[in-house]
Chains A and B, each alone.
Chain A
Amino acid sequence: MIDKNKIFKIITGSPTLKVFKETQKIELVGFYNQLEALLKRDIPYGEVGEKFILCIALTFENQGEWNIFDSGVLASKIEEGLLDENNVVLSNPKGYVIRVIKGKYINNYVEASNFSGEQPRLVFFVNYMEVHLSFNGKPLHYIANIMRPSRVGVDTPEMLPAREYRKLITNHHDRHVYKERGSFKYWRNKAKRILIDKPEIQFNKNLYSYLDLNVIDGRVDISATISGLEDKTDIRIMTFETGDIYIIEIKCLGKTNSTKYPDDWANEGLIELCRYLKDEKDAKTGVLVIYDGRMKDEKINWHADIEWHPKVDRDPMKFFLVSDSASVKAKKIYSALKKKKKGL
Chain B
Amino acid sequence: MISEISPQMLLDNEAFKRSNEVLYVFYSADELTLPFLSKIGIQKCIYLSEVLSPLKKIILSFMDFIYLHKGPYSKDIQNILDHLVSMNAIEVDSFSTHKKNLYVNYKITEIGESLVENLIYDPMEKEKLEWIRIVMRLIDAYKDAFDLSQEYGGVDKIIDLVYQEPSFYEIKQRNGKGELIPMGDKNNLTMELIHFLEKVEEALPRRFNREKYKLDWETVLLAFFEYLYVKYLSEKA
Binding site for B on A (CB under 8 A): 2-4, 6-8, 10-12, 14, 16-17, 20-21, 24, 26-27, 29-30, 33-34, 36-37, 40-41, 69, 94, 149, 151-157, 219, 238-243, 245, 282
Contact = CB atoms under 8 A, between A and B. Distances in A.
A2 B192 contact: yes
Given A12-B213, A151-B230, A30 B140 contact: yes
B124 interface: no
A5 to B, nearest CB: 11
A151 B124 CA distance: 38
B82 interface: no
B126 interface: no
Contact of B208 (A16, A149, A155, A243): A243
Given A219-B208, A238-B207, 19 more contacts: A2-B196, A6-B227, A6-B230, A8-B204, A16-B226, A17-B222, A24-B218, A26-B138, A27-B141, A30-B140, A34-B144, A37-B147, A40-B147, A94-B33, A151-B229, A154-B234, A154-B237, A241-B205, A243-B204
Contacts, number: 110
B202 to A, nearest CB: 12
A243 B137 CA distance: 35
B146 interface: yes
A219 to B, nearest CB: 7
8 contacts: A7-B197, A16-B226, A17-B222, A21-B219, A151-B230, A151-B233, A153-B226, A238-B207
A40 B223 contact: no
B215 A10 contact: no
Contacts of A27: 137, 141
Contact of B141 (A21, A26, A155, A219): A26
B146 A242 contact: no
A24 B142 CA distance: 16
B203 interface: yes
B193 interface: yes
A140 B215 CA distance: 18
Secondary structure dominating the interface of B: helix
A225 to B, nearest CB: 11
B237 A156 contact: yes
Nearest to A282: B207
- Top 10 closest pairs, chain A to chain B, by CB: A243-B205, A243-B207, A30-B141, A155-B234, A37-B146, A33-B145, A153-B230, A154-B233, A29-B141, A26-B137
B172 interface: no
B206 interface: yes
Given A12-B213, A16-B226, A242-B205, A30 B234 contact: no
Contacts of A14: 223, 226, 230
A149 B233 contact: yes
Nearest to B200: A11
Contacts of B141: 26-27, 29-30, 33
A331 B213 CA distance: 48
B231 interface: yes
Contacts of B145: 33-34, 36-37
Contacts of A10: 223, 226-227, 230
Nearest to A10: B226
A219 B213 CA distance: 12
B219 A20 contact: yes
Contacts of A20: 218-219, 222
Nearest to B213: A11
B222 A26 contact: yes
A245 B207 contact: yes
A241 to B, nearest CB: 7
Contacts of B218: 20, 24, 26
A157 to B, nearest CB: 8
Contacts of B192: 2
Given A10-B223, A156-B237, A240 B207 contact: no
A3 B227 CA distance: 10
B31 to A, nearest CB: 12
Contacts of A4: 196, 203
B204 A33 contact: no
Contacts of A155: 234, 237
A154 B226 CA distance: 10
A37 B229 CA distance: 13
B196 A7 contact: yes
Interface string B129-163: 00000100110111011110000000000000000
A18 B234 CA distance: 21
A2 B193 contact: yes
Interface string B159-201: 0000000000000000000000000000000001100110010
A155 B226 CA distance: 14
